[in-house]
């Protein structure tokens, strides 16, 4: 599975740098000098990191072979992607990569099938599991231990103990 780790926003200056919207928690690994990133669309990559720096809260990246603003402008809007198999191992048993949760069946503590994890949202506060219900509707489930009682990656399921009304709205 391909994971998006960034999106090239626009060229910065005349030397080939681009600003990148970062979409990964593994920033130090994904944007290390010498790291190669695939792209979507694929014909623009792979791109190898030559250098990075932060400027006014934005990540600026120079890629090998991208020497001027014209070449950098040609990358605008490209997604920077990696294979999910290259994700670092998480040591904490209570933490998960979003892509590991996507597609898991969501069942109640009583065994009722409630839906499938479609995505994980990260608003301020608690993370939310975006669950696609069997009827096609969407439910947002706070990803907290009181509600999400079990995550079983091997069995491909999440067990929830939802408060009254969470799945009835």
The DSSP string of the chain is -EEEEEEEEEEETTTTEEEEEE--S-HHHHTSTT-EEEEESGGG--EEEEEEEEETTEEEEEETT--SHHHHHTTTTPEEEEEGGGSPPP--TT---HHHHTT-EEEETT--EEEEEEEEE--SSS-EEEEE-TTS-EEEEE-STTTEEEEETTTTEEEE-PPTTTTT-
Q: Please say if the pLDDT value at position 13 is more than 80.
A: yes
Spatial contact of 10 and 20, defined as CB atoms under 8 Å apart: no
What is the pTM (predicted TM-score) of this model? 0.61
Burial of 124-142, coded b for 16+ CB within 10 Å and e otherwise, reads eeebbbbbbeeeeeebebb
Q: What is the pLDDT of residue 96?
A: 77
Confidence of residue 79 (pLDDT cuts 50, 70, 90): very high
- Could you read off the pLDDT of 101-158 as tens digits, one per residue? 889 999 999 999 999 999 888 777 778 899 999 999 999 999 998 999 999 988 999 9
Per-residue confidence (pLDDT) for residue 90, from 0 to 100: 56
| Residue 21 near residue 6, CB atoms below 8 Å | yes
Q: What is the mean pLDDT of the chain?
A: 88
Q: For 60-65, what is the mean pLDDT?
A: 96
* pLDDT computed for residue 4 by the predictor: 82
pLDDT at 121 (0 to 100): 84
**Who has greater pLDDT, 78 or 57?**
78
- Domains annotated on the chain, with CATH: 2-86 (2.40.30.60), 98-160 (2.30.30.240)
pLDDT reported for residue 157: 95
């Amino acid at each position: 599975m391909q994971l998006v780790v960034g999106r090239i926003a626009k060229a910065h200056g005349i030397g080939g740098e681009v600003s990148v919207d970062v979409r990964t928690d593994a920033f130090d690994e994904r944007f290390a000098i010498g790291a190669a990133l695939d792209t979507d669309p694929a014909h623009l990559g792979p791109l190898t990191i030559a250098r990075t720096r932060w400027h006014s809260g934005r990540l600026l990246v120079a890629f090998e072979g991208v020497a001027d603003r014209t070449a950098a402008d040609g990358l605008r809007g490209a997604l920077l992607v990696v294979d999910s198999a290259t994700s670092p191992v998480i040591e904490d048993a209570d933490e998960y990569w979003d892509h590991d949760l996507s597609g898991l069946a969501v069942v109640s503590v009583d065994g009722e099938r409630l839906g499938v994890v479609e995505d994980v949202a990260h608003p301020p506060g608690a993370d939310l599991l975006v669950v696609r219900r069997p009827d096609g509707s969407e439910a947002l489930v706070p990803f907290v231990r009181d509600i999400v009682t079990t995550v079983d990656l091997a069995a491909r399921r999440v067990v929830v103990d939802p408060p009254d009304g969470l799945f009835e709205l």
